[in-house]
Amino acid sequence: MNAGIRLACRNVDDTAAEGIREAMAGFDAALVLLGEDHLSDEWTRQLQTLVDDPSVAPLVAGLGLRLLYDRAALSQEAVAVAFSRSLSSTSAPKAVGHWLDGFLGSAAEVILQDEVLLALVDDWLSEQGEADFVETLPMLRRAFSGFGATGASTSPDANRPRPDDAAYRP
């Protein structure tokens, strides 16, 4: 996975990018389990090249930045700069949506617990013009579709009977 990753991720279609994203996530998880510092260091360097290369598929680049963020391999300022650059108004809305989907992945709810990520997403959303927001909306829906998908709720009232439930008795 490590060798040639940058070239393999350039100018690929959406289907190939999705396959690469899955492979990268699996590879990253395996590296964590192995605990080999020299392999992790090389992987971190490769991830940085993906994030810095504008030819890399946005889905893959978004995941690359997220993995670097999760590893604390970049400062918060560096993550904010890369985030802003990738989601700039000069980027096509579809590419922005793919990038955000890669960055948030299947754990979009993490932004509720991470103030830095929440601020990045909130600032970006607040800056969107109506036309760009409408064009990006389908991709945003996809990126945030994982909210609540685990079936677990963090709300203390999640299991409390509601007035319309048969079990409700005031």
| Structure confidence by residue, pLDDT tens digits, 53-107 | 999 999 999 999 999 998 999 988 898 889 888 888 788 878 888 898 898 876 6
> In the structure encoding, which two tokens stand for residue 122, read together?
């909130």
Looking at residue 105, what is its pLDDT? Answer: 77
Mean confidence (pLDDT) of the chain = 80
C-alpha dihedral sign at 29, 40, 144, 11: negative
* 153 pLDDT more than 60: no
CA dist 156 → 161, 162, 166 (Å): 12, 13, 20
Using pLDDT thresholds of 50, 70 and 90, give the confidence band for residue 135. confident
Angle, helices 93-104 vs 58-70, to 10°: value is 30
Nearest residue to 18 via CA among 93, 96, 105: 105
In the predicted structure, residue 158 carries a pLDDT above the cut 70: no
Q: How many other C-beta atoms are found inside a 10 Å radius of the C-beta of residue 119?
A: 14
| Top-confidence residue, 151 or 67 | 67
How is residue 5 written in tokens? 């990753």
Q: Which amino acid is at 15?
A: T
Answer with the residue of higher pLDDT: 82 or 162.
Answer: 82
Mean pLDDT highest for which of 27-31, 76-80, 141-145? 27-31
Average pLDDT rounded to a whole number, residues 129-143? 79
Residue closest to 63 by CA, chosen among 37, 33, 27: 27
Mean pLDDT of 31-49: 92
- Alpha carbons 111 and 66: distance in angstroms, whole number: 12
Whole-number Å distance between alpha carbons of 80 and 119: 9
Q: 55 in helix, strand or coil?
A: coil
Residue 10, SS3 per DSSP? strand
The DSSP 8-state label assigned to residue 56 in this structure reads B
Question: What's the pTM?
Answer: 0.77
Q: Are the CB atoms for 43 and 31 separated by under 8 Å?
A: yes
Most distant CA pair in the chain, distance: 64
